[in-house]
Structures are given as C-alpha cells and as structure tokens.
Amino acid sequence: MTSASAAGESASHVRQHRSLTAAAEKRALVWMAQRMPAWVNSDHLSALGVMSMAGVGAAFWLAGSHPGIGLPLVVLCLALNWFGDSMDGTLARVRNRQRPRYGFYLDHVLDVAGTTMMLAGLAASGFMDPFIAVVTLVAWLLVTAESFLATFARSVFRMSFGWFGPTELRILIMAGALKLLRGATVEPFGFGPYRLFDIGGVCASAGLAVIFVVNAARNAAALYREETRW
C-alpha cells in the first residue's frame, strides 16, 4: 500500500496528502519523532514497515486455519506497519537527515513488496478468492505506476485520493479482519452470502480503476496544455 510518509522525497516534487486523518497524523508523527531514541534511524523503521507487512500476509494465511490467533495478529502487524512506514520519513525530516532519491525509491519498492505479500496471504487464507486478489493487486499497481509517472512528469506525488489515504486503508483492513472473527461472509442488501474480502476486493478494484482513469486523463491533459505551443 502507498506509504503514509516516504523515507525521503524527491527534492523537486511536491507531496499532496489530504486524507481525513492526515493533519492529526502528521502532528502525532512529529511528536513521536522528536522523542525517538537516538539509536533508532529511518532504515530501522523502514525494515519494521516491510517486515510487519510480511507479518500481515502470514497472519492472514494463519487465520485461514486459526482465526482466533491470526486475525488479531493482522491488526497488530498493520499497526506496526503504520508506525514503521509512516515514521521513517518523519524521523529523517525532524533530524534533517533526508536522503531524497534513496528514501523515495526504497519506501515505494517496499510498498510494492508489502502489498503483494498481504494479498498473497489473503488469497492463501480462503478469505478472498485468488482471482480477485490478483485483480486487486493489478489495479493497485496501475494506480501506483501512474502516480510515479506523474511524480516524474509533473513533480507532484499524490498520496491520497479525496479523503482516503494509506492510514484510512489500514483502518478499513483492520476493521475487516475483526469482522472476520464473527464470520467470513456478509449479505449486502439481502444478497449473498459473499465473502467479506471478496466484496472488498471488487469494490477496491473498481475504485482503483476509476482513480487510474481520472488521474491519467487529468495529468495527460495538463501536460498537453503545458507543452503544446502551437
């Protein structure tokens, strides 16, 4: 999933983060970064972020056979992922130790790996159809790739879409994991039953497809206007 705060950022691009929790989250992260022990650095936090996402995938897989153990672990690992993935860049900025290209590259490579591991765990757990998991991953990769291209071409890195960002996504997955403790299926509007995460994956894929098309059209149109001189 796209990071809430990159371990570094390109010196020539602007980050846009306007999600529902962004302002409060930023204040909390700066407060914690100012009190972080000196021996902890951004690389430690990046490692925590990716290892905890591997833990999310493993916990979902475990929950397929032991939901009472695996699903609480999903929530714990997502909380640890938020801390590591969100804090690494904040700590670098608070200590004035930014490594712009290294941080941007590493943070998003780890995001790709982490999201893949999470969806692989969901597919293996039986809580999500493997085909839906693959479609969701492809849709997420399309949006991610477009955002990276926009960062290069327009010097703007969009970290949220409307009020929805990485932290909101983590909260939603946590809520879904806790809901699985009471049952893996739902009957929306009286139809079903359907697996909860199948519905989530279909909705997420549709939303990501819309985001991809809208952002691609908007950025292509802006670039056309900026570079057409005749």
Where do the domains of the chain lie, and which CATH numbers do they carry?
14-227 (1.20.120.1760)
User: Which of 138, 112, 160, 158 has the alpha carbon at shortest distance from 205?
Assistant: 138
d(CA 196, CA 193): 9
pTM score, whole prediction: 0.86
d(CA 56, CA 182): 19
Tens place of pLDDT per residue across the chain (230 aa):
544 344 344 445 666 666 778 788 889 999 999 999 999 999 999 999 999 999 999 999 999 999 999 999 999 999 999 999 999 989 999 999 988 889 889 989 999 999 999 999 999 999 999 999 999 999 999 999 999 898 888 887 777 776 778 899 999 999 999 999 998 888 888 887 999 999 999 999 999 999 999 999 999 999 999 888 77
User: Which of 89, 48, 93, 70 has the alpha carbon at shortest distance from 178?
Assistant: 70
